[in-house]
């Protein structure tokens, strides 16, 4: 983690905008402010991290630095260091997260609008694939809106793979409702865990609820493995959307869509992004 030598005094804090949960696993909470970078004349999100906490998240910070300037990711513009803290300067996304957007639309999106958001997600996936990065916590809260696009954030669960296509992982990470069956079963899994999460999210955008629920990880896994995927009959969707959903939500990883398959799927070409 190499902090910049720039002068922190060029940052002007406007107001506190909440607590930033740096890690969904450890619940480390840090202060986040809305401010201005008077040198570059832009609004920014300013996040203050205790030095020890920042060092504990060093791998994640390196991922954020690696993704700087990449398409459809929330950019970490600079990292500064003072005597007692690290200062993360991120681009400010003023449109809220994807969960807020869906709620503003009544909790359900039209199929065409859902396709647009899905394509924003797929662009983020392409960016991560270029650096062999698996996110492992894809959910609406981890996409922020700015300049007509949703951008992915929160790389606390992410991992850089040596062999993207075949490498297996064992860490139990993520948000249960979006976790793949392999993670819920505590079995090895591949990058296709992200494909499963995308399928859950797309289903939720169109039908207003996740495909399966449960009061615990155990009950959720039971429902996934013992209840067939149900398509609500009151909402009409195209055959391409159904094909995409079923392809992503295959319990058996070997039958689940590959990343190449979702990039080449008709649904990725049928929405104006």
pLDDT tens string 248-273: 999 999 999 999 999 999 998 755 44
What average pLDDT does the structure give for the chain? 85
| Predicted TM-score of the model (pTM) | 0.84
pLDDT tens string 13-44: 544 444 333 333 333 345 777 776 666 667 77
Q: In this structure, what DSSP letter does residue 257 have?
A: P
H/E stretch holding 90 reads strand 85-91
C-alpha dihedral over 181, 187, 191, 196, to 10 degrees? 0
Q: How far apart are CA 112 and CA 237, in angstroms?
A: 10
pLDDT (0 to 100) of residue 17:
43
H/E stretch holding 130 reads helix 111-130
Do residues 168 and 188 lie in contact, with contact meaning Cβ atoms separated by under 8 Å? yes
- Pairing relationship of beta strands 11-21 and 29-37 according to DSSP bridges: antiparallel
Q: How far apart are CA 82 and CA 3, in angstroms?
A: 10
pLDDT, average across residues 100-129? 95
Cα–Cα distances in Å, from 190 out to 157, 164, 201, 218, 252?
14, 8, 19, 21, 12
pLDDT (0 to 100) of residue 32:
75
pLDDT (0 to 100) of residue 5:
44
Q: Locate 54 and state its tokens.
A: 């920042």
Cα–Cα distances in Å, from 57 out to 63, 81, 136, 155, 194?
10, 15, 16, 10, 22
pLDDT tens string 59-105: 888 888 888 888 788 888 788 877 777 888 888 888 889 999 999 99
Cα–Cα distances in Å, from 260 out to 8, 154, 181, 209, 273?
43, 24, 21, 27, 19
């Amino acid at each position: 983690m190499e902090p910049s030598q720039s002068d922190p005094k060029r940052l002007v804090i406007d107001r506190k905008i909440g607590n930033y949960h740096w890690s969904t696993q450890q619940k480390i909470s840090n202060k986040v402010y809305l401010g201005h970078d008077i040198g570059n004349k832009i609004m920014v999100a300013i996040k203050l991290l205790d030095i020890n906490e920042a060092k504990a998240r060093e791998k994640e910070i390196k991922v954020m630095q690696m993704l700087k300037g990449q398409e459809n990711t929330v950019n970490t513009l600079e990292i500064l260091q003072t005597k007692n803290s690290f200062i993360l300067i991120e681009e400010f996304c003023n449109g809220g997260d994807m969960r807020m957007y869906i709620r503003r639309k009544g909790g359900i999106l039209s199929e065409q609008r859902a396709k647009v958001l899905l394509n924003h997600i797929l662009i983020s996936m392409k960016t991560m694939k270029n650096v062999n990065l698996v996110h492992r916590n894809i959910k609406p809260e981890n996409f922020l809106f700015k300049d007509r696009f949703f951008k992915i954030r929160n790389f606390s669960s992410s991992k850089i793979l040596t062999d993207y296509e075949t490498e297996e992982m064992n860490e139990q990470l993520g948000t249960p409702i979006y976790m793949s069956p392999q993670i819920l079963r505590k079995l090895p899994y591949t990058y296709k865990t992200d494909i499963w999460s995308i399928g859950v999210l797309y289903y939720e955008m169109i039908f207003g609820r996740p495909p399966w629920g449960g009061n615990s990880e155990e009950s959720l896994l039971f429902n996934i493995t013992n209840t067939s995927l149900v398509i609500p009959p009151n909402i009409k969707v195209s055959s391409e959307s159904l094909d995409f959903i079923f392809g992503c939500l295959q319990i058996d990883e070997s039958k689940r869509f590959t990343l190449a398959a979702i990039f080449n799927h008709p649904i990725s070409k049928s929405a104006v992004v």
